[in-house]
Amino acid sequence: MELDNNNHSVFLMYYHLVLVVKYRRRVIDHPISEELKAIFVKIASNYNITLQEWNHDIDHIHILFKAHPNSQLSKFINAYKSASSRLVKKEYPAIREKLWKEYFWARSFCLLTTGDVSVEVIKGYIESQGEKS
């Protein structure tokens, strides 16, 4: 296991994020998932966050990412949810019709630290969620 570092510290911080589409609308297909992933990667670079694993189901996404201790996770998640909601609804008119004036994402989210579970186990879990789709 390789640790991350900056000038004064060494760390390894993995998080598992689950975001659900508002009202559990069944709108995420492969192209939309890829668009959401590209938006995540673009915004994440501003917050010292690195994508490790990504998968989706029809109504939610699973993301495994690494972060630095100074990453402002709640600000990042809110920025991601706002930008991805706006951009995906603009790019895919069918989603705009299904959600109309609503946000794309539900207000709540699930963010878990990986704790003592190895990254490989979590990656396996996220991959298995994609197989259910």
> pTM score, two decimals?
0.84
Terminal-to-terminal C-alpha distance of the chain? 31
Residue 119 has pLDDT above 80, yes or no: no
CATH superfamily of 4-131: Transposase IS200-like (3.30.70.1290)
Residue 42 has pLDDT above 90, yes or no: yes
Nearest partner of 25 among 95, 101, 130, 126, judged by Cα: 95
Q: What are the C-alpha distances in Å from 2 to residues 13, 70, 85, 102, 119?
A: 11, 19, 34, 42, 12
Q: What is the pLDDT of residue 71?
A: 92
**Rounded-to-integer distance, Cα 52 and Cα 64, Å:** 5
**Rounded-to-integer distance, Cα 92 and Cα 96, Å:** 7
Sign, CA torsion 113/60/127/52: negative
State mean pLDDT over 14-25. Answer: 93
Q: Where are the domains of the chain?
A: 4-131
What are the tens digits of pLDDT across the range 64-81? 999 999 999 999 999 999
